[in-house]
């Protein structure tokens, strides 16, 4: 196949084409990995938020947690993941009950 392409275009153009394809392939792989990681985070946050909301003694705290969850899932706010983590860590340490 390379021979057919090279016969229609110059070897230099073929090399540039191949470099662009390799570059594209690399970045598509990175994009797919990022999407999978984002889905993993969402899958971890949702049940955590529901469980904590159901058992929280402080209703306002539970609502804050769900708000951060929504901000990440819907609006893709990266800081919201850290907020959920911090609130969860504080709850597990018993400082929010």
Give the global pTM: 0.49
If one counts the domains in the chain, the total is: 1
Residue 97 domain flag: no
* Owning domain of residue 88: 2-92
Residue 69 domain flag: yes
Residue 84 domain flag: yes
The CA–CA distances, whole Å, from 11 to 2, 17, 18, 77 equal 10, 10, 10, 46
Angle, alpha carbons 84-87-92 (nearest 5°): 120
How far from the centroid of its chain's Cα atoms is residue 22's Cα?
24
Residue 48 domain flag: yes
Question: Which residue do the tokens 């990022």 mark?
Answer: 34
Q: What is the DSSP letter of 48?
A: H
Residue 51 domain flag: yes
Please spell the DSSP secondary structure of 63-86, one letter per residue. HHHHHHHHHHHTT--HHHHHHHHH
Tokens of 69: 């969850």
57 or 81, greater pLDDT? 81
Q: Per residue in 26-79, pLDDT tens?
A: 999 999 999 999 888 778 777 776 776 677 666 777 788 788 888 888 888 878
């Amino acid at each position: 196949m390379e021979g057919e392409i090279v016969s229609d275009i110059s070897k230099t153009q073929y090399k540039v084409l191949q470099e662009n394809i390799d570059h594209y392939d690399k970045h598509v792989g990175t994009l797919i990995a990022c999407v999978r990681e984002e889905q993993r985070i969402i899958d971890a946050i949702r049940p955590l938020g529901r469980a904590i909301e159901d058992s929280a003694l402080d209703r306002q705290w539970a609502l804050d947690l769900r708000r951060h969850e929504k901000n990440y899932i819907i609006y893709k706010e990266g800081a919201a993941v850290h907020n959920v983590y911090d609130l969860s860590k504080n709850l597990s340490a018993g400082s929010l009950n």
